[in-house]
Amino acid sequence: MKQNKILKDYMKSNEINIEQIINDYSGYVYTIIKNISNQKFTQEDIEEIISDTFFVLWKNVNKMNENDKISSYLSGVINNTIKKKKRKIKEHYNIEDYENVLQEQKKVEEIYENKNKIETMEKALENMSKEDNDIFELFYYAGKKGKEIARELNITEFKVKTRLYRIRKRIKQSLEKEGYRYE
């Protein structure tokens, strides 16, 4: 089994065959990283940790004993490399990411509040006459002017303006009952 090989098996002419170690242990290293990291690293981070692991092995081969198991050594290097990587990620935590989350949360709160306001307005409109509802919808939803509404409903423009004033006043009172304040 490849994982039980010792450093002596990869030595030729007092030099380590790092390419062979990489070929034999890349899958092993990748699996350990995935298991330890709990899916917190991107694929790019994992590749960087793999590279760093084999670089540390190559750099420290002279400090190792010929009878050391490579798999054991790599496991220790992987643990240390992951710890360094996690510290580095924490150091480079971007405050803008947190601000974006807060802004999104504010947007959600605004959407919820607007939804509640709309529901309150709809309840107030339900309690109004058909003519008031028609005036409101033509003015606010259809974007028609007072004169156009007056012609369409066969009433005076003054009556349209008066009704709009009263409708707005009733809606404002309904919103204030629900805790919304306007100045």
Instruction: Look at residue 177 in the predicted model and tell me its pLDDT.
Output: 85
16 and 74 belong to one structural domain? yes
Give the CATH number for residue 115. Answer: 1.10.10.10
Instruction: Look at residue 165 in the predicted model and tell me its pLDDT.
Output: 93
Instruction: Look at residue 8 in the predicted model and tell me its pLDDT.
Output: 63
Instruction: Look at residue 3 in the predicted model and tell me its pLDDT.
Output: 53
Give the CATH number for residue 8. Answer: 1.10.1740
The length of the chain, given as a count of residues: 183
| Last-in-domain residue among 60, 91, 122 | 91
- Give the range of the structural domain holding residue 128, as residue numbers without chain letter: 96-177
Instruction: Look at residue 4 in the predicted model and tell me its pLDDT.
Output: 56
- Whether 150 is in a domain gets the answer yes
The bridge status of strand 15-16 relative to strand 11-12 is antiparallel
| Last-in-domain residue among 70, 91, 112 | 91
Please give the full DSSP string across the chain, using - where no structure is assigned: -GGG-BGGGGEETTEE-HHHHHHHHHHHHHHHHHHHHTT-S-HHHHHHHHHHHHHHHHHTGGGS-TTSBHHHHHHHHHHHHHHHHHHHHHHT--HHHHHHHHHHHHHHHHHHHHHHHHHHHHHHHHTS-HHHHHHHIIIIIS---HHHHHHHHTS-HHHHHHHHHHHHHHHHHHHHHTT----
- Whether 183 is in a domain gets the answer no
10-residue averages of pLDDT along the chain (183 residues): 58 70 80 74 81 81 73 79 74 58 67 79 86 88 89 92 91 83 64
138 and 160 belong to one structural domain? yes
Residue type present at position 119:
E
Instruction: Look at residue 22 in the predicted model and tell me its pLDDT.
Output: 79
86 and 115 belong to one structural domain? no
76 and 145 belong to one structural domain? no
In the chain, the number of structural domains is 2
